[in-house]
Amino acid sequence: MKFFVDTAEVDQIRELAELGMVDGVTTNPSLIMKSGRDIKEVTAEICGIVDGPVSAETVALDADGMIAEGRELTKIAPNITVKVPLTWAGLKACKVLSGEGHMVNVTLCFSANQALLAAKAGATFISPFVGRLDDINLDGMDLIADIRTVYDNYDFKTQILAASIRSANHMSQAALIGADVATAPPSVIKKMAEHPLTDKGLAAFLADWEKTGQKIL
Ligand code: E4P
């Protein structure tokens, strides 16, 4: 499973990229707002750090507006992925932009039917939002599993990008189901390294090492 980092915080992206943990980046208008930076400037900086797909989201509501914004965003760098919402207008924009050879990430997906439409419109990525479904007492991972089944049934090449990931548990579940990509905040990716038995085992080893009186360096 590829890891995308769901943030526009450049320092955090750089830290994870140095460890080889970043296959791509996703941003959205809320994350750009949180960064306090200009969308083109911060996205260009991110594209200078990460070679993989970097999603930048359009904000127009009509297809022509999304297409114009998407074309503008793709001028930032060759690895820009245009992110459009899963509306009828977004599907039209997806078809045009993907037809022009641009990568397109169709976002705000909450049903298998929506994912099916995005695949038929030529989406490179479909972003089902796991956490936001969990928030309304549905199981977001069921959606990832359903889309995996639908796409595999018909051999669609659109990649399932599990989004709105809120926990390390979501990451392992997405990987077990076979999501192609998961995008998560840096804090969640770091949490994946944690296990209480690792901490307990390490403390016991160090206590015994202390008793030997030895040093390695
Ligand atoms: C990524 O593409 C999405 O914009 C993001 O994962 C949404 O996450 P949230 O539901 O935690 O805001």
What tens digit of pLDDT does each residue of 113-167 get?
A: 999 999 999 999 999 999 999 999 999 999 999 999 999 999 999 999 999 999 9
Distance CA 160, CA 144 (A): 8
Distance CA 90, CA 80 (A): 17
Q: What is the mean pLDDT of residues 91-103?
A: 98
CATH number at residue 196: 3.20.20.70
Q: What is the pLDDT of residues 153-212, one digit of tens each?
A: 999 999 999 999 999 999 999 999 999 999 999 999 999 999 999 999 999 999 999 999
Q: Which residues pair with 126 in a beta bridge?
A: 106, 160
- Which of 183, 187, 188, 189 maximizes ligand 1 atoms within 8 Å of its Cβ, making it the mutation to test the pocket? 183
In a domain, 10, yes or no: yes
- Residue minimizing CA distance to atom 5 of ligand 1: 164
In a domain, 77, yes or no: yes
Distance CA 2, CA 48 (A): 19
What is the reported pTM? 0.96
In a domain, 199, yes or no: yes
Please report, for residues 161, 199, 203, 214, 216, the alpha-carbon distance to residue 210 in angstroms, rounded to integers and kept in the order given.
Answer: 46, 17, 11, 7, 12
In a domain, 26, yes or no: yes
- Which of 27, 107, 132, 164 maximizes ligand 1 atoms within 8 Å of its Cβ, making it the mutation to test the pocket? 164
215 C-alpha to center of ligand 1: Å? 47
6 C-alpha to center of ligand 1: Å? 7
Distance CA 117, CA 128 (A): 13
In a domain, 217, yes or no: no
- Tokens standing for 38? 């200009």
Q: Which atom of ligand 1 is nearest to the CA of 105?
A: 2
In a domain, 197, yes or no: yes
Task: State the pLDDT at residue 120.
Answer: 98
Q: Which residues are catalytic?
A: 83
Task: State the pLDDT at residue 35.
Answer: 98
Structural contact between residues 124 and 81, judged by C-beta atoms closer than 8 angstroms: yes
Give the SS3 label for residue 180: coil
Domain of 158, in residue numbers: 2-212
Q: What is the mean pLDDT of residues 6-21?
A: 97
In a domain, 191, yes or no: yes
Please give the share of the chain, as a percent, with pLDDT higher than 70: 100
- Tokens standing for 126? 């479909």
> Which residues are CB-neighbours of 52 under 8 A, at least 6 positions away?
2, 4, 22, 23, 24, 25, 79
- Number of structural domains (the chain) is 1
Distance CA 83, CA 163 (A): 13
In a domain, 204, yes or no: yes
Amino acid letter, residue 168: A
